[in-house]
Structure 1
Amino acid sequence: SERAALGAVFPHCRYVHVRRRDVDRQAVSWAVAEATGRWGDRGEGDRPPEVAYDFKAIEDCRRRIVAGDACWRALFRAVDTVPLEVVYEDLVADYRATVAAVAAYLGVALRPSQVSPPRLRQQAGEGSERLVARYRSDRHARGD
């Protein structure tokens, strides 16, 4: 079984499932990263260039996100575990508390005040907001 196989390799494994509540925004973010080659922003340079709207690229990313999430959930069921759920939007809203909660789940004593600030900054801006709005409008028009 999957549980026995993983248990043999990782006997005390704990699972943390990181996901986004807003899959449309995640899809836009992924499509923009693929188009620009910029997967993170440490605040050391300019913002990524504006990206042309591409419904198919965003929709492909969204499908991969949904399929990937389904695979993770199937794995968690197969190994009979309930992972700690970390929602990206909650992480952004309260980074230190979320990191401390993950540490506690893993058995590491860590106060929020001990958590360093994030090294990456959020890349989304007005351009991303326009892409999300247009994508949602187009999905709605298509009946999705």
Structure 2
Amino acid sequence: MASADLISSTVLPTKSIIICSTGRSGSTLLSRTLSSLGYFGKPIEFFRFDMLADNGVTTSATELYRYLGQVYPLGTTPNQVFSAKLHWDHLRKLLQIARTDPVLKSQSEIEILSQLFPNPIFIFIRRNDLSRQAISMEIGRQTGVYLILKEQDKKPPQDKQRLFFRPLNIYRYKQGLQQRNQNWRSLFHRNHMSFLEVVYEDLVTDFEGTMHQVIKTCDVAIPAENFEISQATKKQGNQVNERWLRYYCLIPESFLKAYSNARSYLRQLIAKR
């Protein structure tokens, strides 16, 4: 394998768990809970654009392989299970860089992913309520806070910071989320990839049951004795999220679509002048 040849200085994991996600989908809750159990790798967003850039990964597969040599130990538990979290845009960038390796250039997506992540298992997490997810993304963008750990005794940032309801941003986030969910499904379908689909709403209403389903799918040998599964993060949404949802539902999305298209058209006209 091209990647194994260039990462020979490190021990390759025997199994990989890939969390396939979009922003504010519950992926952090899922990832941190899996990480806390100690047998399912440590799923971190190793392949965010900023993390790649900070580690000198720009356009070359050689740079990527060197970085993987650093990432494997960070994301692997003692039982040699590696895990990582990938948003759709991060996956696209990862595949683009990997295909600069002539050996991988003509290979399918699943073939490339199987070389980068040995024996991969895919967990796809999404939300049913895209409006709430888009609102959460807009609040995160305004506050800069995307995570509150369970042990942290603090109020959600929207309780103490002035926020501005911007329905056009929410609409555009929602459309982007819908497209990225479809992109994930298309990837799984055209590559005949098996995956477990986790719905965020099921995760929060039946946390232990859903996590046991995830654990069963991962097929990792764990001690016979029971171990506690507890939520690793707190819910950030509060009355602000619910109020914005009521406001958003009052505005026809057809109007927001037309307004968004008009703004984009005007920007194109101005750029051509």
Question: TM-score, normalised on structure 2?
Answer: 0.48
The question of whether the paired residues in 1 share the 8 Å contact of 2:109 and 2:191 is answered with yes
* Distance in 2 separating the partners of 1:121 and 1:31: 18
Q: Counterpart amino acid of 1:97?
A: G
Q: Counterpart amino acid of 1:79?
A: N
SS in structure 1 of the partner of residue 251 of structure 2: helix
The aligned counterpart of 1:132 is 245
2:169 to 57, 61, 75: 57
2:142 to 35, 41, 48: 35
* Distance in 2 separating the partners of 1:57 and 1:140: 12
SS in structure 2 of the partner of residue 84 of structure 1: strand
User: Relative to structure 1, is the Cα distance of residues 12 and 59 closer, same or farther in structure 2, using a 3 angstrom cutoff?
Assistant: same
The question of whether the paired residues in 2 share the 8 Å contact of 1:15 and 1:83 is answered with yes
The question of whether the paired residues in 1 share the 8 Å contact of 2:110 and 2:193 is answered with no
SS in structure 2 of the partner of residue 81 of structure 1: coil
The aligned counterpart of 1:46 is 155
| Unmatched tracts of structure 1, length 5 or more | none
* Distance in 2 separating the partners of 1:119 and 1:5: 32
1:79-110 CA-partner distances (Å, limit 9, x unpaired): 21231110001101111221111010011367
Question: TM-score, normalised on structure 1?
Answer: 0.86
Q: Tell me, yes or no, if structure 1 residue 100 matches structure 2 residue 212.
A: yes
The question of whether the paired residues in 1 share the 8 Å contact of 2:171 and 2:253 is answered with no
* Distance in 1 separating the partners of 2:249 and 2:221: 42
Displacement of 1:76 in angstroms is: 0.6
* Distance in 1 separating the partners of 2:179 and 2:228: 33
| Unmatched tracts of structure 2, length 5 or more | 1-107, 258-273
Displacement of 1:78 in angstroms is: 2.3
Query: Percent of aligned positions with the same letter in both sequences?
Result: 27
Displacement of 1:31 in angstroms is: 0.7
Displacement of 1:143 in angstroms is: 8.3
The question of whether the paired residues in 2 share the 8 Å contact of 1:103 and 1:109 is answered with no
- Give the alignment's Cα RMSD to 1 decimal: 2.3
Higher relative contact order (CA 8 A, sep 6+): 1
The question of whether the paired residues in 1 share the 8 Å contact of 2:122 and 2:196 is answered with yes
The aligned counterpart of 1:79 is 191
1:22 to 121, 129, 133: 129
* Distance in 1 separating the partners of 2:251 and 2:197: 30
Higher Cα Rg, which structure: 2
Regions of 4+ moved over 6 Å: none
Displacement of 1:17 in angstroms is: 0.6
